[in-house]
Amino acid sequence: MEKGLTIRRIVVAGVLSAIAILLGVTRLGYIPVPTPAGNATIMHVPAIIGGIMEGPIVGLIIGLIFGASSFLEATVPLFKDPLVAILPRLFIGVVAFFIYFGLKRFNEYVAIGVAGFIGSLTNTVLVLFMAVVRGYMAPKVAIGVAITNGIPEAIVSIIVTLAIVASWKKIGVSVKQKSKISGKF
């Protein structure tokens, strides 16, 4: 695996960040659930996918841009705090990458699914942890949210991640369009 930012990584990070921003801005990424956190979200899925497909740096950057956009777009005081909105999001893609990388040799699809699950839980747990640390939420409430909100979110994330990454790895776009220099499949 090449080190640093290649053209492929730059472009994929940019495009997936655009999706993360779009899902946030248009509220398509929110699935309204009556919890103290407000919404279940699939906005963190681009970060997971980026982490799985192009490595930890891309996952980190998408997480950063997703965090920054959720910070700027936030209507809740909880997410107007950069320590809650941005910092936990950095780890989503990185964790997803390491899970995928570790499990890849056993079974590709299981690895993708587990990476999606754990990546999503990373988001939930770290955000709620920061919310408790910064005093926005009582620990009991946070645990409640983690169960009622985090688990469905994680399950949704498995399905979406698997569907997208699998279809991308297997089929790709028409093969002739892929770059000969950096296309690796």
Partner 1 sequence: MASQFELTRNITIGQYIPTGSIIHKLDACFKLLSFTIMLIAIAICGTYFGNIVILAFSIALFMLSRIPIRYGLSGIKPAIPFVVILAILQLLFYGSVASGGTVLVKSGFILITTDSLRLVVVSAMRFVEIILISSVLTLSTSTTELTHGMERLLKPLKYIKFPVHEFSLIITIAIRFVPTFAMEMEKLMKAQASRGAEFGTGQWWRIVKRTKDMFPLIIPLFNSAMERAEDLILAMEARCYTPGEVRSNYKRYHIKVTDIMVLLFSILFSILILFYPFPY
Measured from the CB atom, is 132 or 156 closer to partner 1? Answer: 156
Q: 74 to 103, contacts with partner 1 by CB under 8 A?
A: 75-77, 80
| DSSP assignment of the chain | ---S--HHHHHHHHHHHHHHHHHHHTSTTEEE--STT-EEE-TTHHHHHHHHHH-HHHHHHHHHHHHHHHHHH--SGGGGSHHHHTGGGHHHHHHHHHHHHHHTTT-HHHHHHHHHHHHHHHHHHHHHHHHHHTTSS-HHHHHHHIIIIIHHHHHHHHHHHHHHHHHHHHT-S-GGGS-TTT---
Per CB under 8 A, the segment of 33-41, 92-100, 114-122, 139-147 that binds partner 1 is 33-41
Quote the least distance from Cβ 12 to partner 1, whole Å.
5
Selected binder of partner 1 within 34, 106, 140, 184 (CB under 8 A): 34
Selected binder of partner 1 within 105, 106, 170, 173 (CB under 8 A): 173
Size of the site for partner 1 (CB under 8 A): 51
